[in-house]
């Protein structure tokens, strides 16, 4: 019974998650390009198993802790998609000795040179050159000599395997407005990455793989020609930001925070809950969207969204709910001690506050699935 | 050696923390009012021991997990300063049976009535009436009949002990600008709380205790007449927000995040580090201050702040550093693989991402002190 859980805690709607996973998997089976799911959102072997059941056989992670965790359960072919530094190579090599088949990425001649001179025990890590398609994160651009220079070092290094190019179009796609802009963002991600591949080939160097992806570009891309695999992560849980972006419906938001009403303040038109900044995160990514939802939307305990309410503010352990249109709150519907669920703005950030998921609405109802947090 | 730590990780400067703790303790010894330190920032028994060494013998917590953790080490007289709900009373009573001497708080006749009818095994929890001094969080106002109504129920309940009134002036004090406004905020917190006490006394009811506090009002209050104890927490670590507010100097910021430079992007005038939104939190509280520091300021590994730099943005595992004045970054000073430290905006939020502290600059250098996270 949800009523018996101590709040705040994290719920995972298995039926919604399975729909999200199946939808993406079916789409890419039809397209004929493999997915390389990003495990940074769920950080759960149980969720990874469901992705496997839908065909996933290669992976993306955002921390070495994730790589070590998933590798310990036998997952292989893992791309650590954050630029590598020398201090982390010992863990990469340990993973490779355990059979993880790690790929890493970088974007500089300095790091390529450094790696190429390291003693790596014959267990050649695969190294991607990261491409900057929209100024969002890290990487080289097609018109930068760096692209060819880095590749030449990697391709000539006897202790490394040059894997190809990779990119994440999370800047332009997350700012897109409507189908046309989303399709354009996806095409920009693909063509900018392929332009770097072309520059590499023109220089007489090889470029085996082309890995791209983000949830919006994966869902809205109209062509994946030339692409070797597609990375996406947040689609597994979705969230209010993705809903605003048109990626999903509100009922597809799979991860929610169960919280208790702890105070009524009629003089402030405010309901206070025990999910604050630590339980929800302070993510305000939807502040840039036309449908700004504060720190999250609300549903009743059964998941029915009340479109009138939102989390207007948070302190460390307090969440402040009011109405979106300024109308008086229906306090009687939300008595003290009753429970609500918060639909998070950005599920990757919110779920990271918890060590695991209370499973609801599926075959594993009542189970608790652990997460692999931190670094 | 810090160079050997895997990044991102959390550092705690013992000398800075000891200064912060001693400064506040000495101030209130002189004032003659006991401190009731809030343990929600440090969540560490090792830090609580230092507070004890400086005279602390009563405590505030923001979660029952903290109460259970600190009680297990023998700490007593613990105020859980988040409005209570019935589902949490079993844990309160278990704590009291273990000798924790818990106090709780509430602000409604409904909750007071509910508690007064519960079977509480003769272990009377102390109950505070929370007062709203600035519309910040929860509580009743002096002009609300609720104040007297709640008190009457609590004072007449045979299974409870009415403790008195408590307030947290974190709204007006955190928005204050300069010494005069800070002093006024502190006086508002005190006088509004005492006004509720007066209303209670006028109704012929008792009001034994008056507990108030926040780091700014504790540090800038000019009178604590009529106050029984003062609660404050973030002063132990301080942060960039508190520095901007005039609570401390930059060298008093005790908790910092050690991070590695993972990419240089001259075309974006950007240094990228491996401390992103999860490692720093997405707290943007200083956005409302005149000295907006993005997601944090930067120092070198030895703690020397570079006033030119700030964390402009974050993704889940990436932090984006640029110059505050738009001038070109001195990339050569921060080579790939080198380490920096991030001074957090809001230390309570940032340190919660970690399971413990790497101690530096003090008697316990090299030790790792665990934290008690979650609920």
Distance between CA B245 and CA A117 in Å, rounded? 49
CB contact under 8 A, A348 and B316: yes
Tell me the fold of A14-236.
TIM Barrel (3.20.20)
Residue A221 C-alpha from the chain's centroid: 17
- pLDDT confidence of residue B342: 98
Question: Residue A1's pLDDT is what?
Answer: 87
3-state secondary structure of B341: strand
* Per-residue pLDDT in tens (0 to 9) along chain A, 375 residues: 899 999 999 999 999 999 999 999 999 999 999 999 999 999 999 999 999 999 999 999 999 999 999 999 999 999 999 999 999 999 999 999 999 999 999 999 999 999 999 998 878 999 999 999 999 999 998 888 999 999 999 999 999 999 999 999 999 999 999 999 999 999 999 999 999 999 999 999 999 999 999 999 999 999 999 999 999 999 999 999 999 999 999 999 999 999 999 999 999 999 999 999 999 999 999 999 999 999 999 999 999 999 999 999 999 999 999 999 999 999 999 999 999 999 999 999 999 999 999 999 999 999 999 999 999
Report the C-alpha gap between A217 and A224 in whole angstroms: 10
Strands (E), chain B: 9-13, 59-61, 78-80, 102-106, 126-131, 161-167, 209-212, 229-230, 255-265, 270-273, 297-299, 305-314, 319-323, 339-343, 356-360, 368-370
Q: What residues in A contact B375, CB-CB < 8 Å?
A: 6-9, 279
Of B161, B209, B162, B165, whose CA–CA distance to B189 is shortest?
B165
Q: How far is CA B112 from CA A333, A339, B83, B108, in A?
A: 20, 19, 11, 6
For residue B123, the model assigns a pLDDT of: 84
Mean pLDDT, residues B310-337: 97
CATH T-level assignment (fold) for domain B14-235: TIM Barrel (3.20.20)
- Using pLDDT thresholds of 50, 70 and 90, give the confidence band for residue B40: very high
Contact A263 B337 (CB under 8 A): no
pLDDT the model gives residue B299: 98
Residue B144 has pLDDT above 90, yes or no: no
- Are A144 and B267 in contact (CB < 8 Å)? yes
A2: left (phi over 0), alpha (psi -120 to 50) or beta: alpha
The residue ranges of every structural domain in chain A are 14-236, 250-370
- Separation in Å, CA of A251 to nearest CA in chain B: 24
User: Is beta strand A9-13 parallel, antiparallel or unpaired with respect to A356-360?
Assistant: parallel
pLDDT band at B1; cut points 50, 70, 90: confident
Parallel, antiparallel, or unpaired: how do β-strands A102-106 and A126-131 relate? parallel
Instruction: Tell me the shortest Cα–Cα distance from B349 to chain A, in angstroms.
Output: 7
Question: Tokens 């700004």 identify what position?
Answer: A292
Fold classification of B250-370 (topology level):
Lyase, Ornithine Decarboxylase; Chain A, domain 1 (2.40.37)
Q: Which residues contact B145 (CB under 8 A, 6 or more apart)?
A: none
Contact A274 B82 (CB under 8 A): yes
Q: pLDDT tens across B51-95, in order?
A: 999 999 999 999 999 999 999 999 999 999 999 999 999 999 999
> Helices (DSSP H) in chain B: which residue ranges?
14-31, 45-53, 64-72, 89-97, 109-116, 145-156, 179-202, 215-220, 240-245, 277-280, 347-351
What residues of chain B lie within 8 A of the CB of A82, using their CB?
262, 274, 317-318
User: What pLDDT was estimated at residue A122?
Assistant: 75
Q: Of B209, B110, B83, B203, which is closest to residue B152 (Cα–Cα)?
A: B203
The pLDDT, as a whole number, for residue B285 is 92
**B254 has pLDDT over 90:** yes
**Residue B143: CA count within 13 A, CB half-sphere:** 2
Q: State residue B97 phi and psi, 5-degree precision.
A: -65, -30
- The Cα–Cα gap between B161 and B73 comes to 25
What percent of chain B stands above pLDDT 70? 100
Q: Phi and psi of A35, rounded to 5°?
A: -85, 150
Helix (H) or strand (E) holding A20: helix A14-31
Under the banding of pLDDT at 50, 70 and 90, the label for residue B142 is confident
The model's pLDDT over B156-203, given as tens digits with 9 standing for 90+, comes to 999 999 999 999 999 999 999 999 999 999 999 999 999 999 999 999
Residues from chain B contacting residue A137 (CB–CB below 8 Å): 272, 315, 318
Q: From A284, A255, A244, A147, select the one nearest A203 (Cα to Cα).
A: A147
């Amino acid at each position: 019974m949800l009523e018996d859980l101590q709040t705040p805690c994290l719920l995972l709607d298995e039926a919604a998650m399975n729909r999200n996973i199946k939808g993406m998997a079916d789409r890419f089976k039809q397209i004929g390009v493999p997915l390389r799911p990003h495990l940074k959102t769920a950080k759960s072997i149980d969720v990874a198993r469901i992705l496997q059941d839908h065909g996933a056989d290669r992976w993306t992670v955002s921390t070495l802790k994730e790589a070590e965790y998933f590798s310990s359960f036998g997952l292989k072919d893992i791309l650590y998609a954050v630029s590598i530094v020398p201090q982390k190579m010992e863990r990469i090599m340990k993973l490779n000795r355990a059979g993880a088949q790690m790929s890493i990425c970088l974007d500089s001649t300095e790091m390529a040179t450094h790696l190429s001179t390291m003693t790596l025990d014959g267990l050649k890590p695969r190294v991607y050159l990261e491409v900057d398609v929209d100024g969002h994160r890290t990487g080289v651009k097609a018109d930068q000599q760096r692209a060819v220079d880095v590749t030449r070092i990697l391709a000539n290094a006897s202790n490394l395997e040059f894997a190809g190019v990779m990119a994440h179009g999370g800047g332009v796609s997350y700012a897109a407005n409507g189908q046309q802009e989303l399709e354009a963002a996806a095409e920009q991600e693909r063509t900018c990455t392929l332009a770097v591949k072309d520059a590499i080939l023109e220089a007489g160097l090889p470029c085996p793989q082309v890995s791209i992806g983000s949830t919006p570009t994966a869902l809205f891309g109209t062509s994946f020609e030339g692409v070797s695999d597609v990375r996406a992560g947040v689609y597994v849980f979705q969230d209010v930001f993705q809903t605003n972006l048109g990626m999903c419906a509100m009922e597809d938001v799979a991860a929610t925070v169960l919280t208790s009403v702890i105070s009524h303040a009629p003089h402030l038109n405010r309901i206070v809950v025990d999910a604050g900044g630590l339980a929800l995160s302070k993510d305000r990514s939807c502040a840039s969207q036309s449908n700004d939802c504060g720190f999250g939307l609300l549903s009743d305990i059964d998941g029915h969204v009340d479109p009138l309410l939102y989390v207007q503010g948070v302190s460390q352990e307090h969440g402040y709910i009011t109405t979106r249109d300024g109308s008086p709150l229906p306090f009687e519907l939300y008595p003290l001690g009753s429970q609500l669920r918060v639909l998070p703005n950005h599920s990757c950030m919110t779920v990271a506050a918890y060590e695991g998921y209370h499973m609801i609405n599926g075959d594993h109802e009542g189970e608790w699935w652990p997460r692999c947090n931190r670094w």
